[in-house]
Structure 1
Amino acid sequence: MTVQRLFLALLLLFTSPAAAQEVSLATASAQLAQAEGDLRSVDRALDGRVDRSDRAALRAKAAAAQAMVRTTTGALEDQLALVDARLAGLGPVAAGTVEAPEIRRQRAQLQQQRGVLDAAAKRGRLAAVEAEQLIDEIARAQAEQLNQTLSTRSPSPLSPGFWTALVEAMPRDLRRVDGFVRQGAEQIARQWRGGLPWQAPAGLVAALILLLPLQKLGRRVGQRYLIGNTPGHRVRRSGYAIWSVIVGTVAPLLAAAVLVQGLRWAGLLPERWSGLLDGIVFASGFAGFVAALGGAVLMRSQPSWRVAPIADETARRLRPLSWMLAALTFATVMVEVFNRTIGVSRAATIAAQTLEAVLHLGLIGWFLLLLGRLRAERAARGDLDGASASAGLLSLVAWLLVGLATLALLIGYIGFSLTVARMIVWALVLGAALYLLMRAADDAATSVFNRDSRVGATLMHGLGLRGSVVDQFGLLLSAVVRVALVLLALSMLLSPFGADGIGTLFGRLGVLAQGIKIGGLSIAPGAILRAIVVLFVGLALVRAFLGWLEKRYLPATDLDGSGRNSISLVARYVGIALAVIWGLASLGIGIERIALLLSALSVGIGFGLQAITSNFVSGLILLAERPIKIGDWVRVGQDEGDVKRISVRSTEIALADHSTLIVPNSELITKSVINKTLAAPLGRVQIQFSVPLGTDVEQARRIVLDAFVAEEAVVADPAPAVFIDSIADGRVLFNCFAHVGSPRDAYRTRSNVFMALLTRFPDEGIDIGTVPQRLELAAPDGVIAPPAAAPAPPA
């Protein structure tokens, strides 16, 4: 039944509303009638005595009927909405007017169709409510049964009444056992006299082959495959652990099934033994799972393949306990099935439960004592860490539960004690399985979606994704899978004790699959999945268009690199916006809802997002008007450099010290910015110096022009020019200009010209010293003191 519920939930999860709308009225009526019949049969069955297994089957049947009803009702409501839209299109009949016969006939047909659809939809909604009530009733019955089991008190095993009841019921129980065994022996004797039943020995041989050599061969083959075909040691270890659990579970399960089937084909056992044979198969599979799980976690004989951070000594000491737990699991399942098959007395059942609780609590206590001893040894070596502290806390909680269960057992609450013991064991088994699955999921996701893996390389080269994006996707996928595993484990934690966690989980998934109403909008997992697919398809189309635009179309135009970047950037943002709108539309969010959302966001934009909006609009202005382009040499405040990138929020400028200045676009629009390459790409070099009055100025001019011509960066047009700026203080001031191909070359060229002049002028006897300064001292009482004599030259 669990498999059926899982299949139903997955089917409903990925069923699109569009497919549901194609259901005809006749088909919908038939589906509703079938669902109503199933619900009536569940209701009649609940009137009698129902055990736990029957109750689970009834709940699954009611959940399946509920899912069918909701799917059909959703399709009917969609068709009803279409009919209402067509009626609204016809409009109301105005008073005093007579409609055309065709319009009147169509209106009557639509109203009749609407009445039928509305009645069917109401019928479906009523059936859904009935199904919900039946499911709630079954859940309450399960909870009451669990409460009754926990609260029922029996005679204490320490009291004489416990043993008196057991002794009084023993003769009848022994007769039941004797009759059961004698019936089986007589059946075996009859079949044996008719000839050799070869099916039973063949089943036994096949079971032994599956249990011993094939199981070892399966593990060895899996290990070799992982070594030869799986990259990374983490995936190999976790994969081998999961494979060991699978092989260790399937091998004994198949061996028991083959053995039982051989016995049945041989006809050696009576029909009454059928339940016991099925119990053998189930007990073998579950005990094999427990033993294989313990071996996969501990890996005592293969420490290099161990997934869990467990020391070799710890693995060696704990491994026998896993075998004991598997044997105890097999024995308890078989005893419970045997007692139920032959119908033993209540006293014998309580005694068996008492023995099971004692064995479970003893094994748990032994396990906790061993863990405490190992932790004490590690503490003596100074080896404790944070995990050891967490393990100590869990051990303390387990000891408290063991003490509580022991006390309950001693005072007569056998069911409570056994439930607590089973819960501890089941939590341990489920926790170990969850740990292995989470490690395997994390290792697989982060190894497959990794920039160095084949899949990662394919994604990076095929879709142009960055390596970090591939790594992030692997981590996100790992997190999602592990969260799903934790939720599944939590739902399964109470399932063996009557809570039916798996059924509840998939029932909730079925409800979720129908969609959640949010403000008149139905959001379902199928719609979300469809929207994600549409969004990815839209983004892929945008990327393909941008690739064609940047590699094929724009190079064929006369635009420069900055213009191409502007067009490409605007096209990218417009394409992404269209892809998002397309995805929202596939989710059922129309343009009017998007406009309403934007109008609601405008209030927040007006108050809290002014700077971001200003920068965004400024970026669009920069891309449209292009006062600053990529490659321009600009000065912003005291900083100047090359414009490397212009986005809709900011502009990146590479400075001379190899740092990057990030300037908000609003600063470039609202403040003064010097663009040295906007009108022309040329840069200017300015040289200023002075020579004494009487110097051959023509010779000085020729030297400067020669220095300009000697520089390769100086362009011929416009030609270098030398001007006399002024004559002051006995010196002639020169102001010289030259142009270079780029402002980036101006500083270096200016330095080279200065060095050339400082070399040539002394060789030509031209003094380019500074203007001499004269100091005058003012005498007291306004008398001007004579000029101070110049200091005598040194000897």
Structure 2
Amino acid sequence: MRARLLAPLAALLALLLTVTVALAQDGPDYDAWTKVADNAERVTEQGRASDEALETLRAQLVDWREQFLSAQGLNSDRIATLRNQIAALGPAPDAAAGTTESEDVAARRAELTDQLNRLRAPVIAGEEAYLRADGLIREIDTLIRDRRTERLLELGPTPLDPRNWGEAGKALLSTARAIYDESIASWQSPTGRVKLYSNLPVTLLFLFLGALLIGRSRVWIRRLASRIRKLTRKGSGVWRVMVSFGQIVLPLIGIMLLLRALELTGVFGPRAAPLIDSLPAWGASLLLVWWVGDEVFSRNDELATIPINATLRAEARVHIAILALCQVAHSFVWTLVSSENYSEEVRVVLELPVIAVAGVSLLRLGLILSARRVASPDAEGETTQSYAMRLMWFIGRAAMVIGVVGPVMQAVGYGSAGVALVYPAIGTLILLGVITILQRLVFDLYYLVTGERDQEQGGLIPVLAGFVLVLLALPVLALIWGARTADLTEIWARFREGYSFGETRISPGDFLTFVLVFMIGYMATRILQGGLRNSVLPKTRIDPGGQTALLSGIGYVGIFISALIAITSAGIDLTALGYVAGALSVGIGFGLQNIVSNFVSGIILLIERPISKGDWIAVGGQMGYVRDISVRSTRIETFDRTDVIVPNSDFISGTVTNYTRGNTIGRVIAPVGVAYGTDTRKVEKILREIAEAHPMVLANPPPNVVFRGFGADSLDFEIRVILRDVNWSMSVHSDLNHEIARRFAEEGIEIPFAQRDIWLRNPEALRQAVAGQGEPVAPSAPVLDEPPENPTDEPEQNDAPSAEGSEGEGRI
């Protein structure tokens, strides 16, 4: 009967599964992928394809890998449901153990397992294809890197060979003659002249405007920046940098106008076209480097980002300009070599003077950066070198080494290695200069917005800004030193793919979802706490300690619930992490047992509230007021105004004295002694009047005066009073003592001081020593507060014994 009822349901589920599988198959075309993968494996095995062909093939493989990564998430919800259904049927029977299950459950388990396997098929296919594509991409990357390494370390022709000089001269003359002949031919042709004359007015206008912008724009921008700096101080750094950026934009516009004027003339032919087309890039590079040099090594001491003297800054600007020209010259040589198909011998000869000049400028610039500077003394009078100065010294030393090694390697024949050292080093210096400019710009923006200027060189805002800028500059630095764009995109792809934990893959998107949801929950918890603290709890009868405990509990519960919701929203399966947590729990338990003990103790304190915020307590030899109760510890402010952090476990396991628990009523005892012979009833009456007159003393219960007994020097009394606020106990005690002293003086009551009797044995020895008769016998040690052995045999003497006194013992 049950089987007949389950049959229609099973048929419906099978139909849904068929539709789901059909939809799931609308994924990657595995037949096309197989052809692409086979071709990629054949190409990598042969290793004869060019770098450009390998890069194109790699781009195709990356696209396929993205598809396979998406395919791994197909049917994820349905697969999770089927797994839960199978788990609900209980553990599978173990044939070895002889366990069985009913036919209906076994049939249902087999049906669900079959559905799960069919849904898992495209996922498994996607995982397998993903691994294959990823492996092929790694092989292509390895092949390209190996080729580049071989070219970098390859020994080529040396530019010092005189036979190569003539060939290089002939190649340059041939190119110059060809460009000249093309220009003359274009000039002599009727069509070219007509074009030149028809465009002459526009050409002249463009030439004039371009020359004007190139020649005068830098002067205009500097004057404008100086005026802005004089008009306003706040935010002047931001406006000055923005305006100074016009030193790049306006001259670049002038270069574009000149280039357009050359195109309108129609004089230059195809041989000069690569050079003409490269002019904007060369001009932009030259202007950018010059601008960075002017900003970093500014003529104004306040604007320079590197603290060196004016003479060295002027020289540094010259070398920066030389390095910019060398970069343009290097690009010019490579453009000629690629467009004219020069030989390797010609290329190295043309490259040698450029790299030599660049090496000299790098060497000199490194000397300037690494020059020793006197560090300013700190607060303790000691001079310490800042991190920026040490970093600048290291950069300068590295520039010096590269400035020498690079040209030498170029000269001996390792031209690729020399070029790969010198020009990336120049690019790195320019990038570091841009970072310092941007860091100062961020600092000026902060000052413009907040009006707060951190005068310290190592302030928090510049340090954080520099750290973020360095992180953002790392990809650019990698590209400068020869990293391929594919290498950076591969790192980004790995980051987007995330990491797998068991059956769960955590991607950056999941992480951002977790952070966003958790922050929303956290802010909602804080808003709820703020509303309760300011609006609801003040209107209740809950004491301040209870309010604090309630708010803390709501905070902990809210954060815990926010974390659970964030984990669920991000789709993170904690099953796999549970095994890791279980394995680490034992070790973590031993290492963090004190922290856990304090945490649990803190929760107990917040729930039971044996102490509250503001209580006067004594624990572990420390006494003071409770100022804050956190989960791990409690902060006590002592009467010396010092904070003592006490672990919460001390409050649970130790003895705590709470003087103000529940109320602030407490007792003060003020002892006092009077001389023997004083009227005790009179003293009691005076003391009672003094106690009753103090405003902090409660009338009920009334003050009590106790005659404690007969002391060694006085008759001992005590005033015992109950105060409205025990926090004023010391002040009340002082007031009572002042009043006792005043009243006793008025009534003639004496407050005695301590008296002691001194007994001397063998006083005759003392008399002989005083009289100078013979050698004195060493007397026995005096006994303090000790009566004679037989006081009844001899009367007391309050005065010191005279020379005629009786022999034996005497007393003072």
TM bucket, shorter chain: 0.7 to 0.9
For 1:715, what is the secondary structure of its paired residue? coil
1:786 aligns with 2:794: yes
Q: Distance in 2 between matches of 1:490 and 1:414?
A: 23
Q: How far apart, in 1, do the equivalents of 2:390 and 2:566 lie?
A: 48
User: Given residue 350 of structure 1, which amino acid in structure 2 is its aligned partner?
Assistant: E
**In 2, Cα distance between equivalents of 1:104 and 1:489:** 57
Question: Corresponding residue for 2:728?
Answer: 745
Mapped pair 1:162 → 2:164: yes
* Alignment match, 1:191: 192
Show the counterpart of 1:539.
522
- Cα distance in 2 for residues equivalent to 1:45 and 1:792: 120
Distance verdict in 2 for CA 1:654–1:330, change over 3 Å: closer
Tell me the residue number matched to 1:84.
Answer: 79
Give the C-alpha shift of residue 561 in structure 1.
1.1
| Residues 77, 135 of structure 1: alpha-carbon distance in 2 compared, 3 angstrom cutoff | same
- 1:639–1:580 distance in 2 versus 1, CA, 3 Å: same
Show the 5 A alignment for 1:543-622. Answer: 543-585=526-568, 588-592=571-575, 599-600=582-583, 602-622=585-605
Give the aligned residue type for 1:492.
Answer: L
Corresponding residue for residue 152 of structure 1: 156
Amino acid at match of 1:296: E
> Are the counterparts in 1 of residues 358 and 403 from structure 2 also a CA contact under 8 Å?
no
Q: Contact (CA 8 Å) 1:70, 1:514: kept in 2 or not?
A: no
Distance 1:472 1:139, change over 3 A: same
Residue in structure 2 matching 1:336, options 328, 334, 337: 334
* Structure 1 pair 493–679 and aligned structure 2 pair: CA distance change class (3 A): closer
1:487–1:718: structure 2 CA closer, same or farther, 3 Å change rule? Answer: same
Quote the Cα distance in structure 2 between the aligned partners of 1:294 and 1:86. 64
> 1:682 and 2:665 equivalent?
yes
Range with greater deviation from structure 2 (366-375 or 676-685): 366-375
Q: State the partner residue of 2:145.
A: 139
Structure-2-length-normalised TM-score: 0.75
Q: Relative to structure 1, is the Cα distance of residues 330 and 663 closer, same or farther in structure 2, using a 3 angstrom cutoff? A: closer
CA RMSD of superposed structures (Å): 4.9
Q: Percent identity, aligned pairs only?
A: 22
Separation (CA, whole Å) in 2 of partners of 1:306 and 1:251: 23
- Whether contact under 8 Å (2:597, 2:649) holds in the other structure is yes
Amino acid at match of 1:307: T
Measure the CA separation in 2 of the matches of 1:51 and 1:261.
36
Q: Deviation at 1:163?
A: 4.7
Residue type matched to 1:279 in 2? Answer: S
Match of 1:713, SS state, is coil
**Judging changes above 3 Å, is the alpha-carbon distance between structure 1 residues 201 and 114 closer, same or farther for their aligned structure 2 residues?**
farther
Secondary structure in 1 matching 2:198: coil
Instruction: Tell me the SS of whatever aligns to 2:667.
Output: strand
* CA distance in 2: counterparts of 1:86 and 1:317, whole angstroms: 73
Greater displacement, 725-734 / 61-70: 725-734
Q: Which segment drifts farther, 366-375 or 334-343?
A: 366-375
Distance in 1 of aligned mates of 2:165 and 2:306: 46
* Correspondence for 2:474: 487
TM-superposition CA deviations, 1:376-405 (whole Å, max 9, x none): 9989xxx99888898777666656555555
Higher RCO structure, 1 or 2 (CA under 8 Å, sep 6+): 1
Match in the other structure for 1:667: 650
Cα distance change on mapping 1:268 and 1:743 into 2, 3 Å: same
Alignment check: 8 A CA contact 2:514 2:570 kept? yes
Query: SS of the counterpart of 2:192?
Result: helix
Q: How far has the Cα of 1:456 moved from its partner?
A: 9.3
Query: Structure 2 vs 1, CA of residues 546 and 142 (structure 1 numbering), >3 Å: closer, same or farther?
Result: same
- Write the distance in 2 (CA, Å) between the matches of 1:703 and 1:631: 36
Q: Distance in 2 between matches of 1:391 and 1:652?
A: 45
- Counterparts of 1:728-739 in structure 2 under 5 Å? 734-739=717-722
SS of 2:28 mapped into structure 1: helix
Conserved? CA contact 2:686–2:743, under 8 Å: yes
Taking the aligned partners of 1:715 and 1:438, their CA distance within structure 2 comes to 71
Distance 2:662 2:270 in 1: 101
d(CA) in 2 for partners of 1:297, 1:32? 58
Match of 1:629 in 2: 612
Q: CA 1:315/1:513 → structure 2, altered by over 3 Å: closer, same or farther?
A: same
How far residue 773 of structure 1 moved from its aligned partner, in angstroms, is 7.5
In structure 2, distance between residues paired with 1:754 and 1:377: 70
Which string of whole-angstrom CA distances, capped at 9 and with x for unpartnered residues, describes residues 565-621 of structure 1? 111222223333444444555555445466556545542354232322222222222
- Verify: 1:293 aligned to 2:292, yes or no: yes
The answer for the alignment partner of 2:806 in structure 1 is: none
557-566 or 646-655, which moves further after superposition?
646-655
- The more displaced of 701-710 and 25-34 is 25-34
- Return the letter of the residue paired with 2:148: Q
Which SS does the other structure have where 1:306 is aligned?
A: coil
Correspondence 1:114-129 to 2 at 5 A:
114-116=120-122, 118-119=124-125, 122-129=128-135
For residue 276 of structure 1, what is the aligned residue in structure 2? 275
The 1:681/1:765 distance shift into structure 2, 3 A limit, reads same
Distance in 1 between residues matched to 2:66 and 2:451, nearest whole Å: 38
| Contact persistence 2:708–2:718 (CA under 8 A) | yes
**Structure 1 match to 2:211:** 208
Task: State the Cα distance separating 1:531 from its structure 2 match.
Answer: 3.2
Deviations 1:692-742 (A, max 9, x none): 787555443332222112211112222222344457899865443221111
Take 2:391 and 2:713, find their aligned partners in 1: how far apart are those partners? 91
**Aligned partner of 1:430 among 407, 410, 428:** 428
Conserved in 2, the CA contact under 8 Å of 1:775 and 1:788?
no
Structure 1 residue 558 displacement after superposition: 0.8
1:207–1:259 contact (8 Å) kept in structure 2: yes
User: How far did residue 559 of structure 1 move?
Assistant: 0.7
Change (3 A) 1:725 1:30: same
Residues of 1 paired with 2:551 and 2:307: CA distance?
52
Distance 1:759 1:750, change over 3 A: same
Correspondence 1:427-576 to 2 at 5 A: 427-438=425-436, 440-441=438-439, 443=440, 454=450, 474=461, 477-478=464-465, 480-485=467-472, 487-495=474-482, 500-517=483-500, 521-576=504-559
Q: Distance in 2 between matches of 1:95 and 1:731?
A: 97
Change (3 A) 1:579 1:619: same
- Cα distance change on mapping 1:698 and 1:481 into 2, 3 Å: same
Describe the shift of the 1:603–1:483 C-alpha distance in structure 2 as closer, same or farther (beyond 3 A).
farther
Matched position secondary structure for 1:631: coil
Identify if the C-alpha distance between structure 1 residues 256 and 615 changes in structure 2 by more than 3 Å, giving closer, same or farther: same
Distance 1:735 1:534, change over 3 A: same
Q: Does the CA contact (< 8 Å) of 2:359 and 2:407 recur in 1?
A: no
Cα distance in 2, alignment partners of residues 24 and 224 from structure 1: 69
Helix, strand or coil: the match of 2:305? coil
User: Under a length normalisation based on structure 1, what TM-score does the superposition of the two structures give?
Assistant: 0.76
Alignment CA distance shift 1:127-1:272 (3 Å):
farther
The alpha carbon displacement at 1:204 in A equals: 3.1
> C-alpha offsets along residues 258-306 of structure 1, whole Å, 9 cap, x if unaligned?
4434544665544554323222222222222233232232223x44321
Q: How many residues align?
A: 728
Amino acid across the alignment from 1:786: E
Asked if 2 retains the 8 angstrom alpha-carbon contact of 1:256 and 1:281, the reply is yes
| Structure 2 segments unaligned to the other structure (5+ residues) | 1-19, 93-99, 375-382, 760-785, 802-812
CA distance in 2, matches of 1:158, 1:755: 108
Greater gyration radius = 2
Query: Structure 1 722/203 Cα, relative in aligned 2: closer, same or farther at 3 Å?
Result: same
